[in-house]
Amino acid sequence: MALPESVTIVGTGLIGGSLALALKRAAPGIRVVGVDRSEALAEAQELGIVEAGDPRASELFVLAAPVGQILNLLDELNPGHALVTDVGSTKAAICRKAEERGVRFIGGHPLAGSEKSGPRAASADLFKGTHYFLCPVSTTPPDATKVMVELVSAVGAIPRIISPDEHDRLVAQISHLPQLVSDILAAHTASNYDFAGPGLKSMTRLAASPASVWRDIFKTSGFLPHEIRSFMNRLSEALEALERDKNE
């Protein structure tokens, strides 16, 4: 099964730009049209990441924006008969919106990223060896999963088929909780950060990620409260053990 000949990527930053570069390397003849704010789009075009063109001619739309913007785009988008996917870090709310609108849609989320952002941070190697979740829904066309599995494999990632709820349960633990802990640890140690060694700097690296992006993710991460409570229980057990040892 061949890759799409024309793709529109809405959002030309780190993830969208990297996907564009990886697709162009995997299929040199592919046409990748970019949609973004004027400054970001101009930068992405200057760097040769995307080109100008009519998005309506594309076979695939990739919504590579923050989660809140993806939800808004699903209300505004008129993709015709094109397949639509996204790269949002939560899936349940996005997939539900796509189904409600009857969009030909399959949810997507590459477990790849960086604390850096913008088109200049994009890299064709970003997805190499990473897990890339695909979440079919009731409005997913019959052949869409196969198309996306091939596309994901072509950019060097490992496709994983999973339900939206299963996805959100998993990433709440392995992605959203670590980000939140990094944010809190960075704030907790800020007054003495000038003395930090590589251990603290490594643990707080994620805190440099754009707060605007993570605000939407935390808001739509339905399983995050459960993971926070579980983590707090472990911290409480550690505290009790320390205090017990101190008093012995």
pLDDT tens digit string along 112-134?
A: 877 678 899 999 999 999 999 99
Task: For residues 53 and 28, give the distance between their C-alpha atoms in angstroms, rounded to a whole number.
Answer: 17
Look at residues 147, 162, 177 and tell me which one is the last residue of a structural domain.
162
Q: Residues 220, 238: one domain?
A: yes
The answer to whether residue 157 scores a pLDDT higher than 80 is yes
pLDDT digits (tens, 9 = 90+) for 73-100: 999 988 888 999 999 999 999 999 999 9
CA distance 185 to 179: 10
Q: Whole-prediction pTM value?
A: 0.90
Q: Are residues 13 and 130 in the same domain?
A: yes
Which two three-digit tokens encode residue 237? 């057990």
- Asked whether residue 157 falls in the same domain as residue 174, the answer is no
Task: Report yes or no on 1 lying in a domain.
Answer: no
| 3-state DSSP helix/strand/coil % of the chain, to nearest 5 | 55, 15, 30
Q: Which two tokens stand for residue 75?
A: 């209300």
Q: What is the CATH classification number for the domain harbouring 189?
A: 1.10.3660.10
Residue (of 141, 176, 169, 146) closest to 159 by Cα position: 146
- In this structure, are 205 and 231 located in the same domain? yes
**Residues of the domain holding 36:** 6-162
Domain harbouring 155, CATH code: 3.40.50.720
Q: How far is CA 242 from CA 142, 151, 166, 203, in A?
A: 56, 50, 35, 22
134 with 54, same domain: the answer is: yes
Domain end among 123, 145, 162:
162
Dihedral pair phi/psi, residue 6, rounded to 5°: -140, 130
Tell me which of 162, 187, 208 is where a domain ends: 162
Mean pLDDT of the residues in the chain: 93
Tell me, yes or no, whether 105 and 202 share the same domain.
Answer: no
Q: Are residues 193 and 148 in the same domain?
A: no
- What's the number of domains the chain is made of? 2
